[in-house]
């Protein structure tokens, strides 16, 4: 049976292209297709599969030229195109093709690119990326995400100097003025462009990223993740538990959940709304200030200062020498993270990983003046004969630490991991250093590290970079924990995590 499981898979059937009743029809397989269409000045239509197997069969109305990777279809009578990519992680690539086109991704994590003629993109099941970089065309585009975590990305390459208006509301009112695209509510994430954009979410959980420009983001309902990107932005959460995301910032940021234009990097002047409950810092040494409501503040990298004015909050320093001010009269959960951290807290707060803990407000530490010591009277110094030293030979420690995963979710949702990260609780039989890595089929997507004392239950938060968080897809991931004791002995624990 094992030999069967390890046997190489059979070659996938080839994708096919044909023309019938005015429709150019491409049908994919269960493998990974990368379909490209090209037509110049009304000439023949060239179709190529740049996928892993590069397999493409010419059906009725098309032919394969010997020695060429293209299938060639005469354009006479062709009025539109239908691209059915099938199962697998597929791509429909940007090309020069002006005719109306419907692209269906099918099952799998697909990337569907807009072209001059595309007017319908259907992601299908899986975590799909719908690229709308081609800009406005003669036919308004319709975007459906389907089941999974899907993203519509506008404007990174299209060069528009005019701002976009994007809204997840099933209404044909998206793109630049007059473009008339329709991004449907089964899309979970929106990317803006390089100008001044307005991004509007839905009643459900959304991720809005303005990229560059002076953007306005409105989460509306649901638990939303809002990132303005560069320049001066306005972030409005609406109903639900919303988080301002500065995790991609390399510069130190200051964020306060007060609705004032005093947020972001120096001179940025973002306005994070008072209806936002949480904030993520970035790679620099950040200052994050919450509100009187219950919330979430995470510093991530850098030597961060986290200030909690009130409410029952989750406060995390993560990496760096952090200072957390949590003395607010409410019960908070505090995880200082790695390195040398300091916390000021209430007696009811639960704090882990903090090197210096003060119960009370900042500045309440008592530093008594030293008592002068009396001048000692010199005494006669007796002659000292050192004892014969007997060397103590201790056996070398060659026993690896015993460790146990105390808590880990058997499965998680992509949207939850993107907003809150991933945590695992580990217990170690002795003092040990812990390194954790979450890996998918394309490599490591999140990392974390920490130190656990003997018998201590240590909670680790694995950090996703901005790039890996955007690239996170449903599937099975491997969590690898490496534990090292003071003698350098290692233990390794491997667990599987299913992300849906």
Phi, psi torsion values for 37, nearest 5 degrees: -115, 145
pLDDT band at 3 (very low <50, low <70, confident <90, very high): very low
Residues 80-92: tens digit of each pLDDT: 999 999 999 999 9
User: Looking at the predicted structure, is the pLDDT value of residue 8 above 60?
Assistant: no
User: Looking at the predicted structure, is the pLDDT value of residue 106 above 80?
Assistant: yes
Say how far apart CA 480 and CA 447 lie, in whole Å: 10
Confidence at residue 7, expressed as pLDDT on a 0 to 100 scale: 31
* pLDDT, mean of residues 366-387: 61
Overall pTM > 0.95? no
Confidence at residue 481, expressed as pLDDT on a 0 to 100 scale: 87
Q: What is the 3-state secondary structure (H, E, C) of the chain?
A: CHHHHHCCCCCCCCEEEEEECCEEEEECCCCCCEEEEECCCCCCEEEEECCCCCCEEECCCCEECCCCCCEEECCCCCCEEEEECCCCCCEECCCCCCCCEEEECCCCCCEEECCCCEEEEECCCCCCEEEECCCCCCCCCEEECCCCCCEEEECCCCCCCCCCEEECCCCCCEECCCCCEEECCCCCEEECCCCCCEEECCCCCCEEECCCCCCEEECCCCCCEEECCCCCCEEECCCCCCEEECCCCCCCCEEECCCCCCEECCCCCEEECCCCCEEECCCCCCEEECCCCCCEEECCCCCCEEECCCCCCEEECCCCCCEEECCCCCCCEEECCCCCCEEEECCCCEEECCCEEEECCCCCCCCCCCCCCCCCCCCCCCCCCCCCCCCCCCCCCCCCCCEEEEECCCEECHHHHHHHCEEEEEEECCCEEEEEEEEECCEEEEEEEEEECCCCEEEEEEEECHHHHHHCCCEEEEEEEEEEECCCCEEEEEEEEEEC
Kindly compute the dihedral angle of the four CA atoms of residues 238, 239, 240, 244, in this order, to the nearest 10 degrees: 10
**Least confident interval from 110-114, 375-379, 386-390:** 386-390
Which of residues 1 and 296 earns the better pLDDT score? 296
Say how far apart CA 449 and CA 99 lie, in whole Å: 52
Q: Are 17 and 47 in contact (CB under 8 A)?
A: yes
Confidence at residue 25, expressed as pLDDT on a 0 to 100 scale: 98
**Least confident interval from 25-39, 156-170, 203-217:** 156-170
Q: Which span out of 86-95, 299-308, 385-394, 458-467 was modeled with the highest average pLDDT?
A: 299-308
Confidence at residue 178, expressed as pLDDT on a 0 to 100 scale: 86
Which of residues 64 and 262 earns the better pLDDT score? 262
Confidence at residue 39, expressed as pLDDT on a 0 to 100 scale: 93
Mean pLDDT of the chain: 85
Q: Supply 363's token pair.
A: 């500045």
**Least confident interval from 66-70, 251-255, 364-368:** 364-368
Residues 13-36: tens digit of each pLDDT: 789 999 999 999 999 998 889 999
pLDDT band at 389 (very low <50, low <70, confident <90, very high): low
**Least confident interval from 91-105, 155-169, 337-351, 383-397:** 383-397
User: Looking at the predicted structure, is the pLDDT value of residue 119 above 90?
Assistant: no
Between strands 80-84 and 23-27, the pairing is parallel
Confidence at residue 239, expressed as pLDDT on a 0 to 100 scale: 95
User: Looking at the predicted structure, is the pLDDT value of residue 2 above 90?
Assistant: no
Q: Which contacts of 487-490 are long-range, i.e. CB under 8 A and separated by 24 or more positions?
A: 487/396, 487/397, 487/398, 489/397, 489/398, 489/399, 489/400, 489/401, 490/400
Say how far apart CA 481 and CA 463 lie, in whole Å: 14
């Amino acid at each position: 049976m094992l030999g069967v499981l390890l046997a190489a898979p059979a070659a996938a059937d080839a994708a096919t292209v044909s023309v019938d009743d005015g429709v150019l029809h491409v049908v994919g397989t269960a493998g990974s297709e990368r379909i490209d269409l090209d037509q110049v000045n009304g000439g023949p239509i060239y179709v190529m599969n740049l996928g892993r197997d590069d397999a493409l069969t010419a059906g009725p109305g098309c032919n394969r030229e010997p020695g060429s990777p293209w299938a060639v279809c005469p354009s006479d009578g062709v009025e539109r195109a239908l691209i059915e990519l099938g199962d697998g992680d597929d791509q429909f690539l940007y090309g020069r093709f002006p005719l109306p086109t419907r692209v269906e991704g099918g099952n799998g994590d697909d990337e569907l690119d807009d072209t001059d003629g595309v007017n319908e993109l259907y992601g299908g099941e899986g975590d799909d990326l719908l690229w709308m970089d081609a800009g406005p065309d003669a036919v308004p585009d319709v975007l459906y995400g389907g089941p999974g975590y899907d993203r519509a990305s506008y404007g990174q390459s299209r060069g528009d100097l005019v701002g976009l208006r994007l809204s997840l509301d099933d209404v044909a009112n998206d793109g630049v003025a007059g473009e008339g695209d329709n991004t449907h509510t089964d899309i979970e994430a929106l990317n803006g462009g390089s100008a001044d954009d307005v991004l509007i979410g839905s009643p459900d959980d959304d991720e809005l990223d303005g990229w560059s420009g002076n953007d306005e983001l409105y989460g509306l309902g649901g638990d939303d993740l809002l990132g303005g990107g560069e320049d001066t932005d306005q972030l409005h959460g609406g109903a639900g538990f919303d988080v301002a995301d500065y995790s991609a910032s390399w510069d130190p940021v200051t964020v306060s959940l007060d609705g004032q234009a005093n947020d972001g990097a120096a001179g940025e002047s973002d306005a994070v709304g008072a209806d936002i409950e949480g904030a993520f810092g970035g790679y620099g040494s950040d200052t994050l200030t919450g509100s009187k409501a219950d919330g979430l503040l995470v510093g991530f990298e850098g030597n961060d200062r986290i200030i909690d004015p009130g409410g029952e909050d989750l406060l995390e320093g993560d990496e760096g020498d952090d200072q957390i001010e949590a003395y607010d009269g409410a019960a908070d959960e505090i995880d200082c993270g790695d390195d040398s951290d300091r916390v000021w807290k209430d007696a009811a707060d639960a704090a882990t990983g903090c090197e210096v803990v003060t119960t009370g407000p900042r500045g309440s530490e008592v530093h008594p003046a030293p008592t002068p010591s009396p001048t000692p009277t010199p005494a006669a110094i007796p002659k000292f004969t050192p004892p014969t030293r007997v060397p103590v030979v201790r056996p070398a420690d060659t026993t690896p630490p015993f460790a146990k995963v105390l808590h880990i979710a058997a499965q998680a949702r992509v949207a939850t991991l993107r907003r809150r990260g991933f945590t695992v609780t580990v217990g170690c039989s002795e003092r040990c250093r812990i390194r954790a890595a979450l890996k998918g089929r394309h490599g490591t997507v999140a990392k974390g590290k920490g130190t656990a004392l003997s018998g201590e239950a240590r909670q680790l938060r694995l950090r996703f970079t901005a790039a890996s968080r955007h690239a996170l897809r449903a599937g099975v991931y491997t969590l690898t924990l490496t534990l090292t004791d003071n003698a350098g002995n290692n233990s390794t624990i491997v667990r599987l995590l299913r992300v849906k």
